[in-house]
Structure 1
Amino acid sequence: MSLQPLQALDGHRFDAFIELPQGRPRGALVVLQEIFGVNSHIRAVARGYAEEGYVAIAPPLFDRLEHGVELGYGEDDVKRGRELKAAAMAQQDLVLQDIAAAIAEGAKHGKVGIVGYCWGGLMAWLSACKLDGLSAAICYYGAGIPDQAALQPRCPVLMHFGERDHLIPQPQVQALTQARPEVQVHVYPADHGFNCDQRAAFEPESAALARRRSLDFLQQHVG
């Protein structure tokens, strides 16, 4: 994995983590972080997608607030991550500019998809609805997405939720599926964060099934 300097529309420069595949890329995938920054888990996720043939680009979405954020999953980390998320959402349009810069970098390699986890899942949804240049979007347990269900996605979208996720209760997920029938929604016997093997909520069978569905979705829409 290497660092690639990118520049947003307003001139902000930041270093994105980029993992290259072996051989000719299928396309590119922008990987959006949880509230814990581009930490070892997100880098591992990006590496896994690169192994499947995609140029994986993980932009540090807290960079405008604090450089080099990399948190774990303890109580203090959660508190700090939530503080940073709140500050970032207060300047949401700037975060989207940084994501747009990552999409533009990915477009050098073909079609571009986006995948986000937790807060990144919400940002992947907002990107699918507000940014150009995406061929597919995948959202893992994005808290806040049901509140943004009125938005219209510009590309195909796949979503993964856990049925025991107290942050996104099932009635919210059901309302989302009714509001956006064109979005593919899957629910798993799992809690919030079930894809992360560094969290107590990790549920390997659900994570493996969601990954297979995500790879099929990317193959269909990105390459």
Structure 2
Amino acid sequence: MAAFTSIPTLEGDARFDVYVARPQGTPKAAIVVIQEIFGVNEGIRRKCDGWAAAGYLALSPDLFWREKPHVELDADIAEDFQAAIGHMQKFNQDQGIRDIEATIKAAREELGQGGKVGLVGYCLGGRLVFMSACRTDGDAFVAYYGVGIDGLLKEQHAIGKPVLLHVPTADGFVPPEVQQKMHDGLKDNRHVTLHDYEGLDHGFAAEMGARRNEAAAQLADGRTADFFAAHL
């Protein structure tokens, strides 16, 4: 069972839509899936549906809602890609974290007392997951090809829960020197694990489309599943 539903902001002054996929039976935990710059599109909804099939309550907040609700773009279409860049540039990331926090709160309310919530994000969502690890009360965090994490390292002292980063070494948006800063800056943080994917580019684990590398996506997704099984 999956559909969009609305939840309140933390401030309670508005409501925004979240795609929610529910498992059969009682959820083992919840997973918040954080979108790329292309919105809560079919690929992101499929990610949620997959987690629901695995027994989790899965939620994906529509983070661009303040500018334009229900953005849904295709990374393989040039015009869509440029439109996505425009949405990203207008997006307030700090406010986005508050909307993610509201989604975590909604997940916990549905799970009931003691329910755990993991976060997984891609591209922009990967960056937001790292920010969430520093700023929210989520229980486990996974970032795929997060952009600009080197600029967030000063916040890492606030990380108190497990974090997993998937890093493709040929990422056109995260050059080698940035990847090195991530490795060097996080190597002494006992909460953070990084996995490199040699020769792979940004978007290799997209659920659909030309960017996907099947073998690497399955490897990374298997690691993510094991990570959540261990920590949620």
How far, CA to CA, are the matches of 2:216 and 2:154 in structure 1? 28
Deviation at 1:171, TM superposition (A): 2.6
Aligned to 1:160: 166
Gap runs ≥5 in structure 1: none
Aligned mates of 1:147, 1:93 — CA distance in 2: 14
Equivalent positions of 1:80-119 (< 5 A) are 80-88=83-91, 91-108=92-109, 109=111, 110-119=115-124
1:110-147 CA-to-partner distances (Å, cap 9, x unmatched) read 10000000101101111111112x11000000111122
Q: Which amino acid aligns with 1:96?
A: I
The 5 Å alignment of 1:114-125 reads 114-125=119-130
Q: Deviations over 1:40-60 (max 9, x none)?
A: 000001111111111000000
Matches within 5 A, 1:178-217: 178-181=184-187, 182=189, 183-189=192-198, 190-217=200-227
SS in 2 for 1:166: coil
Work out whether 1:173 is the aligned partner of 2:179: yes
Q: Kindly tell me the number of residue pairs found equivalent between the two proteins.
A: 219
2:45 maps to 1:35: no
Question: Structure 2 length normalisation: TM-score?
Answer: 0.91
**Alpha-carbon distance in 1 for matches of 2:207, 2:135:** 31
Q: Residue deviations 1:174-217, cap 9 Å, x none?
A: 22122112311011131100011433221111100001100111
Query: Are 1:149 and 2:149 matched, yes or no?
Result: no
Secondary structure of the 1:150 match is: helix
Shift of 1:92: 2.3
Cα–Cα, structure 1 residues 116 and 167, in superposed 2: closer, same or farther, change >3 Å?
same
Give runs of aligned pairs for residues 56-95 of structure 1, distance below 5 A. 56-73=58-75, 74-88=77-91, 91-95=92-96
| Contact map agreement 2:73 2:80 (CA 8 A) in 1 | yes
Q: Which amino acid aligns with 1:221?
A: H
Task: List per-residue Cα deviations over 1:140-188 (Å, max 9, x = no partner).
Answer: 0011112212212232100101111121123322221221123110111
- Give the alignment's Cα RMSD to 1 decimal: 1.2
List structure 1 segments (4+ residues) > 4 angstroms apart after TM superposition: none
CA contact (8 A) 1:193 1:199 kept: no
Deviations 1:49-80 (A, max 9, x none): 11111100000000011011111121111111
- For 1:37 and 1:151, the matched residues in 2 are separated by 26
Query: Is the CA contact (8 Å cut-off) linking 1:150 and 1:179 kept in structure 2?
Result: no
Whole-Å separation in 1 of the counterparts to 2:4 and 2:160: 29
Distance between the aligned counterparts of 1:55 and 1:205, measured in 2?
A: 26
AA at the equivalent of 2:219:
L
